[in-house]
Structure 1
Amino acid sequence: MNEKELIEILSSKIKLVRSEFNYNQDEMANILGVSKKTIVQIEKERQLASWTIIVTFASLFRDSTIIQRELGEEDIVYFLQTVARKNIDLKDKQKWMNQSLWKVIDERNGYILQRHVITHYYRIINQLGQRLFSSFYKKSAVRHFNEMVKQDLED
């Protein structure tokens, strides 16, 4: 995914997220640091949000179920960093949108080590889906995963 694709995806979600949090257009404009006119233009799909607006929007509303569902990412800031720094290019966007974004690397004793298929970001979650650890570094994630499993076995 690159910046342009992310802008297109999230620009179309601003109105939904605004409604999700019960903000009016004036309040959303104030939160994002733009004019109400800009919000209206984006919501009516007359213009796309700028990269700066999208980064602000996704960061401030990272707890939005709409954004999380759309991106499949719980830590939106890391996702934004990866897109901005690496400009990941997906050839088949539709395929990406229809697949799970988290690949299970290992699963033991109720701990699940996963890798995000786009950002290559690693996380360890429990069976309830609660994140216990996260890192961009595989060695670190594997080490923590093994330590958690070992500690659990010893208890």
Structure 2
Amino acid sequence: MDRDQLIQIASESLKLIRTENGYTQEKMAELLGISKKTLVQIEKERMVANWTVTIAICALFRNSLILQNRVGGDPMEVIELTTHDVIIIPKEKTMGGYIWWKNIEEYEGHRLQQNLLSKHYRILDHENYRLMSTLDEAVAYEKWEAIRQTIK
């Protein structure tokens, strides 16, 4: 998933996210730092949100089921991956990838997975902690092999 796709998804989902959270157009526009007129234009699909508004939507509503279902999980992870090629962060607990993820390889409880919607890759340890994420398939396999070597 690239930046333009994420902008499109956030824009198309904005009205549903707003109603999911019970906000008026005035309140939602205030939260996102845009005018009500701009919000209405986005909701009516006459224009798309800019990158800054897309980031705000993903950050403020990262727990929105509508948004999560459209991007295949945490929208902020997808934002990070569209900005950086690889995310290697301190371990972050996940649900294990039983909904939006396909296991590509498994070894000693560790898993290399690919997201079914955004198509990005991640590696989980045996307790479902995320060790890294990337949009680059070659990097995913390189890190996977390095992790397998440390487990042996």
TM bin, normalised by shorter chain, reads 0.5 to 0.7
Q: TM-score, normalised by structure 2?
A: 0.68
Instruction: After superposition, give the CA deviation of every residue in 1:90-116 in whole Å (9 maximum; x if it has no partner).
Output: xxxxxxxxxx752213277xx672423
Match of 2:106 in 1: 106
User: Quick one: distance in 1 between partners of 2:39 and 2:51?
Assistant: 14
SS of corresponding position for 1:113: strand
Contact between 1:135 and 1:141, CA under 8 Å: does it hold in 2?
Answer: no
**Relative contact order (C-alpha < 8 Å, sep 6+): which is higher?**
2
The residue type paired with residue 58 of structure 1 is C
Instruction: After superposition, give the CA deviation of every residue in 1:9-67 in whole Å (9 maximum; x if it has no partner).
Output: 22010000011111111111111111111111100111111111111101111100011
User: Quick one: distance in 2 between partners of 1:45 and 1:25?
Assistant: 15
With over 3 angstroms needed to count, the CA separation of the structure-2 counterparts of 1:41 and 1:138, relative to structure 1, is: same
Figure out how many residues of one structure are paired with residues of the other and give that number: 126
SS of corresponding position for 1:49: coil
Does residue 132 of structure 1 match 2:133? no
Runs of 5+ in structure 1 lacking a partner?
87-99, 147-155
SS of corresponding position for 2:83: helix
User: Quick one: distance in 2 between partners of 1:138 and 1:23?
Assistant: 43
Match of 1:34 in 2: 34
The residue type paired with residue 56 of structure 2 is T
With over 3 angstroms needed to count, the CA separation of the structure-2 counterparts of 1:2 and 1:143, relative to structure 1, is: same
With over 3 angstroms needed to count, the CA separation of the structure-2 counterparts of 1:125 and 1:116, relative to structure 1, is: farther
Match of 1:116 in 2: 114
Contact between 1:29 and 1:36, CA under 8 Å: does it hold in 2?
Answer: yes
User: Quick one: distance in 1 between partners of 2:60 and 2:9?
Assistant: 16
With over 3 angstroms needed to count, the CA separation of the structure-2 counterparts of 1:5 and 1:27, relative to structure 1, is: same
User: Quick one: distance in 1 between partners of 2:131 and 2:51?
Assistant: 26
Contact between 2:8 and 2:48, CA under 8 Å: does it hold in 1?
Answer: yes
| Sequence identity percentage | 30
Does residue 23 of structure 1 match 2:23? yes
Once structures 1 and 2 are overlaid, which stretch shifts more, 37-46 or 135-144? 135-144
Contact between 1:18 and 1:28, CA under 8 Å: does it hold in 2?
Answer: yes
